[in-house]
Structure 1
Amino acid sequence: MAVPSGAAALEVLSVVEDVVAGRGPALLPTPAADADESARLGDALRVGAPIADDVAFVVPTSGTTGTPKGAMLTAAALTASADATHRRLGGAGRWLLALPAHHIAGLQVLVRSVVAGERPVAVAAGFGPDELVSAAAVMGSGRRYVSLVSVQLDKVLRSPDATAALATFDAVLIGGGPIPPGLAERALAAGISVVRTYGMSETAGGCVYDGVPLDGVRVRLDRSRVLLGGPTLAKGYRNPVQPDPFAEPGWFRTDDVGALDGGVLRVLGRADDAISTGGLTVMPPLVEAVLSRHPAIADCAVFGVADERLGQRVVAAIVVAPGASAPTVAELRAHVAEELDATAAPREVHVVDEVPRRGIGKVDRRALSARFG
């Protein structure tokens, strides 16, 4: 079935209620995009074909690039995630739905709402500041939560009224990719209770909050590759791939590289985003974190392009902050080299109007590499 975003997504609440209660049939949510995209997803996820009785939802892991895979989630995995989230946040509450329900983050808002016995309030993913203020006003005085992505948080922080409204929430979960350090600092300074989440469709959504796994979630590293386990894990893919990341019983092998320090996970970036330059490996998020602290940069993305001498060279696309002048390549190289090895400093810089993103806010490095390669 197609699951729409915004207020229309509340129409599927009864479906989610049945799923949580174990009464619902297996459903295959697909984005309410154009007909061709929906048909492609439907074919890939084998809509209408038989499926195990305990599979509640099959959630697409990608609807914009590559072949979408469908994570098969049980009601038990979804509710385990919702319960663990509420325990971590200090108790159940009312949720604001601001993400598309065909993405796991949006779907989990509905599941958490059903588990909490509270009807969510919804705004469209591209909500305006006034819409957030109005939604917050009708949510009542109990515990209130919302899940957002970084681009939405940035939009809120540009409006004093919306910022004040968001600061009244007990927790603002930020997922869909790393949050730029500068953005996090602005949010915290405004009194917004930001919680950085890490997870994916295969783990029923965010399962590591501020680097610490939720109750029951297991994290380990295999040569820096992040593996996740626990009760929130999907049963596997509807359309299996090879090598199978679920091959090891009880574990899901992610595409992410990370580090563990005292049980706290730090995600360094996706393995396939790593840039091999001059025989060394550069992780784009680390460079982006440094670049984002430059006062002339409002947003940025780092990616690799082919280079005859180095194999790949590090390139940055930047959005210049209002009223600032574009920094030079030499200036940015020196800025990055102050914190990281000079190898990680971009050798090429392009000014763009906005950083291309896909899904619910992830940087589209492939599009940048194709444009500037």
Structure 2
Amino acid sequence: MRLERLEDSDPRALLRALRGAVLGSGPAIALGSAGELPADVPAGTAVVLTTSGSTGVPKSVALSRSALTASAMATSARIGEGQWLLPLSGGYIAGVQVMVRALVSGRDPAILSGRFTAEAFAHAASGMRSFASGMPVATYTSLVPAQLRTLVDAGEEDPRVARALASFHTILVGGQRLPDPLRERAIALGANPVRTYGSTETSGGCVYDGVPLDGTTVRVIDGELRINGPSLADGYLGDPERTAEAFVIDSEGLRWYRTGDAGSVDGRLVSVTGRIDNVIISGGVNVSLDRVEAVAQGIVPDAVVVGAPHERWGETPVIVTALGGDLDAVRSAVEREIGKPARPDRIVRLDEIPRLPSGKPDRRVLREIVRGDG
């Protein structure tokens, strides 16, 4: 199958290309900051999405039509069908999946173009009223936590934004951990946020509020979460070695994706602790920065935690925030829930948290800032 790079950043151009790639006869489309890619890809490929994430190591994930549509159909089976609003970049899996869900449902998505603001979101939401058989059509959207925080902050002051949040049947929130205080504030405004967990390799979120979507199974091997199901990517284009390392076959012939995340499974309920490799050694003790961040966000809502060198302890956690916060309160909470070695060393306040186009914090940049600050 022919592979075409989509250079046009217009989400409407992406929607047209996805319609052919997912529902039609192709060609497959390449998205993201890809380098050299082959002119042809295996039959059935719909999207090749190249991401570097926070590691800076590019990977071109090959997603089939069947994987993308399986994910979209499992989502509709879990939360229902309706019209979608796209407020995310189409160059990332969350944005792609909003469009695929819309295409599978037979309704083009509403699109929030330009800079994301609470006012623009409220305006887009207000234009989504439609009816089928005399009944209002349910509306859905997908956000990253930073976007939800922008809307909640505004909604607590502006009733129009609060009404926009409450107008959606479900708001999927993924890309990074959704702090409990932010979730509770959103619910207080009448919103229905649903935490999602997944990655490009799983065609987006495949675990909703801790419960895997139908057809998806999650298990833990050596402390690592592994995922099996119809939404798994075919692998990394042109990189069979990395593909074989990330996608493994068990003794029963089932294919599993190694997430690189630590966590647990209790019955069907999946809990994610954090990245296995997002660990520092402080005073000879392994400290999960994701766990520290989860505790810190209960006190400093926008906290991002990174590691920094320390003369005495080797490395220590450091909080980066645009809001500021009480370091003593965070240190006490972290010591109580995790232990003394995990206590943050300091708080670095920035005017704005640098972010990737996906909305995630740019942790590489933050580590450089923190190391220069120290």
TM-score over 0.5 (shorter chain): yes
Q: Measure the CA separation in 1 of the matches of 2:277 and 2:202.
A: 20
- State the alpha-carbon separation in 1 of the partners of residues 361 and 262 from structure 2: 17
Change over 3 Å in CA distance of 1:204–1:298 after alignment to 2: closer
1:197-249 CA deviation, whole Å, 9 max, x = no partner? 01111111111111111000111111211111110001110132547201335
What are the equivalent positions in structure 2 for 1:1-373 lying under 5 Å apart?
1-2=5-6, 8-30=10-32, 38=33, 41-43=34-36, 46=37, 48-62=38-52, 66-89=56-79, 91-124=80-113, 126-140=115-129, 141-159=136-154, 160=158, 161-240=160-239, 241-242=241-242, 244-248=245-249, 250-294=255-299, 297-320=300-323, 326-327=325-326, 329-373=327-371
The total of aligned residue pairs comes to 351
Report what 1:35 is aligned to: none
Quick check: 1:16–1:111 contact (8 Å CA) kept in 2? Answer: yes
Instruction: Kindly provide the amino acid, as one letter, of the partner of residue 20 in structure 1.
Output: V
Counterpart CA distance in 2 for 1:341 and 1:250 is 37
AA at the equivalent of 2:138: R
Q: Separation in 2 of the partners of 1:344 and 1:358?
A: 26
- Change beyond 3 A, Cα 1:256–1:157: same
The code of the aligned residue for 2:264 comes to A
CA contact (8 A) 1:304 1:315 kept: yes
Distance 1:92 1:209 in 2: 16
How far is 1:63 from its partner? Answer: 6.3
**SS of 1:51's equivalent?**
coil
CA distance in 1 between counterparts of 2:191 and 2:165 reads 6
Moved more, 224-233 or 307-316: 307-316
CA RMSD, Structure 1 to Structure 2 (Å): 2.1
Counterpart code for 2:305: V
Deviation for aligned residue 1:64: 7.1
SS of aligned partner of 2:273: strand
From the superposition, tell whether residues 21 and 213 of structure 1 become closer, same or farther in structure 2 (CA, over 3 Å).
same
Q: Distance in 1 between matches of 2:28 and 2:362?
A: 32
Structure 1, unmatched stretches of 5+, are 31-37
1:33 counterpart residue number: none
Label 1:286 to 1:125 Cα distance change in 2 as closer, same or farther (>3 A).
farther
Amino acid paired to 2:77: R
Residue pair 1:98, 1:125 contacting (<8 A) in 2 also? no
Task: Evaluate the alpha carbon distance shift between residue 3 and residue 185 of structure 1 in structure 2; reply closer, same or farther with a 3 A threshold.
Answer: farther
The 3 A distance-change label for structure 1 pair 67 and 17 is same
Partner of 2:133: none
CA deviations 1:24-77 (Å, max 9, x no partner) are: 1222123xxxxxxx5xx232xx1x432111111111232675231111111100
Amino acid at match of 1:267: V
TM-score, normalised by the number of residues in structure 1: 0.88
> Cα–Cα, structure 1 residues 206 and 298, in superposed 2: closer, same or farther, change >3 Å?
closer
SS in 1 for 2:304: strand
TM-score by length of 2: 0.87
Identity of aligned residues (%): 39
Alignment deviations for residues 244-279 of structure 1 (CA, whole Å, 9 cap, x no partner)? 201335111112111222321111111221222223
Equivalent pair of 1:62/1:359 in contact (CA under 8 Å): no
